[in-house]
């Protein structure tokens, strides 16, 4: 996804235990903190901010360089948010918008398209330009506006479910 957004074509992958052992040798954390980090289920809270700091401070963090493949992510749902909106791996530029009003024909059905969620009429299920992405590259989302049921429940959507434009 970061490659699709034009962020990077490569990453450095770290092993938490390897990094913590290295940082312990530099005396940048104590053993209790190291144990908490390696046992934590909240590594985005306990590990990632520290890792960013150590990198910014110029420490040569052990990592493995990985060139990202030049393939695209699968066309699917990558997240169902707490409102039941389905975030897709597809950008607005990926969709074949047709008609007036604009519609998108997919393997899940045909949906009206809106630029913003707030433009989707109450009770309607639609595809719109979502909030996730970078700059003008925004991922599409499917939502049912202001209704008891969500798009995820109504359409039986799950993370990983494939979606195709027809």
Give the pLDDT of the chain (166 residues) as one tens digit per residue.
788 888 888 999 999 999 999 999 999 999 999 999 999 888 889 999 999 999 999 999 999 999 988 777 789 999 999 889 999 999 888 878 777 788 989 999 999 999 999 999 999 999 999 988 888 889 999 999 887 778 999 899 999 999 998 8
Give yes or no for a contact between 158 and 80, defined as CB atoms under 8 angstroms apart. yes
Domain ranges of the chain: 10-67, 77-155
DSSP result, 36-98: HHHH-S-HHHHTHHHHHHHHHTT-----EEEEPPSSPPPSBEEEE-TTSPEEEEEEGGGS--B
pLDDT in tens, 73-92: 789 999 999 889 999 999 88
Give yes or no for a contact between 14 and 61, defined as CB atoms under 8 angstroms apart. yes
User: What is the pLDDT, as a whole number, of residue 2?
Assistant: 81
- Kindly report the pTM of this predicted structure: 0.69
């Amino acid at each position: 996804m970061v490659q699709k957004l034009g962020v990077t074509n490569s990453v450095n992958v770290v092993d938490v235990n390897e990094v913590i052992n290295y940082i312990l040798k530099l005396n940048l954390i104590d053993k209790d903190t190291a144990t908490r980090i390696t046992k934590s289920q909240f590594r985005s809270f306990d590990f990632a901010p520290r890792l960013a700091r150590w990198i910014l401070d110029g420490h040569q963090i052990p990592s493995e360089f990985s060139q990202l493949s030049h393939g695209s992510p699968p066309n699917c749902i990558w997240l169902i948010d707490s409102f039941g909106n389905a975030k897709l791996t597809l950008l607005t530029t990926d969709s074949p918008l047709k008609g007036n009003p604009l519609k998108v024909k997919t393997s899940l059905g045909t949906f009206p398209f809106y630029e913003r969620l707030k433009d989707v009429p109450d009770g309607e299920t639609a595809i719109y330009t979502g909030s996730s992405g970078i700059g003008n590259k925004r991922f599409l989302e499917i939502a049912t506006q202001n209704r008891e049921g969500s798009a995820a429940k109504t359409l039986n959507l799950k993370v990983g479910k494939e979606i195709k434009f027809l």
